[in-house]
């Protein structure tokens, strides 16, 4: 079956522009996660959704970042007025639920969107 799909795979934009990153989770997965990974670094958690609801948005780096999910499926991560420090790979993952009877559920990741801010 299809895995997690992210688009675009690469995005180059000028400082100050807005960008929108898209994530299509695995069909039937109600939980969706966004992470950021800078070159050679670990994963920085940004936000997760259970259904369309994000319990906590405080992981988003600044108020220029926003995320939404509608219809319990596709999610978009929007970065307004991009800065050079926003350059990174943005990873999306999904799981059946966030927390099941076997605890935290394994996440299935896409290959990310590589964002470069000039």
Partner 1 sequence: LAKTTQPISMDSYEGQEVNITCSHNNIATNDYITWYQQFPSQGPRFIIQGYKTKVTNEVASLFIPADRKSSTLSLPRVSLSDTAVYYCLVGIRDDKIIFGKGTRLHILP
Interaction site with partner 1 (CB under 8 A): 4, 33, 35, 41-43, 45, 48, 55-56, 58-59, 91, 93, 98-99, 102-104, 106-112
Smallest distance, partner 1 to C-beta of residue 104, A: 5
Q: Which one-letter DSSP state was computed for residue 106?
A: P
Minimal CA–CA distance to 95: which of 37, 27, 46? 27
CB of 40 to partner 1, least distance (A): 9
State in angstroms the smallest separation of the CB of 78 from partner 1: 20
Pairing of strands 103-104, 65-69: unpaired
User: What token pair was written down for 110?
Assistant: 């896409």
- Nearer residue to partner 1 within complex by CB, 31 or 83: 31
Could you give phi then psi for residue 17, rounded to 5 degrees?
A: -80, 160
Q: Minimal distance in Å, beta carbon 63 to partner 1? A: 18
- Shorter beta-carbon distance to partner 1: residue 35 or 65: 35
Q: Are 23 and 75 in contact (CB under 8 A)?
A: yes
């Amino acid at each position: 079956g299809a895995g997690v799909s992210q688009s675009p795979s690469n995005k180059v934009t000028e400082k100050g522009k807005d960008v929108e990153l898209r994530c299509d989770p695995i069909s039937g997965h109600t939980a969706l996660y966004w992470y950021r990974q800078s070159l050679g670094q670990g994963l920085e958690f940004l936000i997760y959704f259970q259904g369309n609801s994000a319990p906590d948005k405080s992981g988003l780096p600044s108020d220029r970042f926003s995320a939404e999910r509608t219809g319990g499926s596709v999610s978009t991560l929007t970065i307004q007025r991009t800065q050079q420090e926003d350059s990174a790979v943005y990873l999306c993952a999904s799981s059946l639920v966030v927390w099941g009877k076997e605890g935290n559920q394994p996440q299935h990741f896409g290959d990310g969107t590589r964002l470069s801010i000039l």
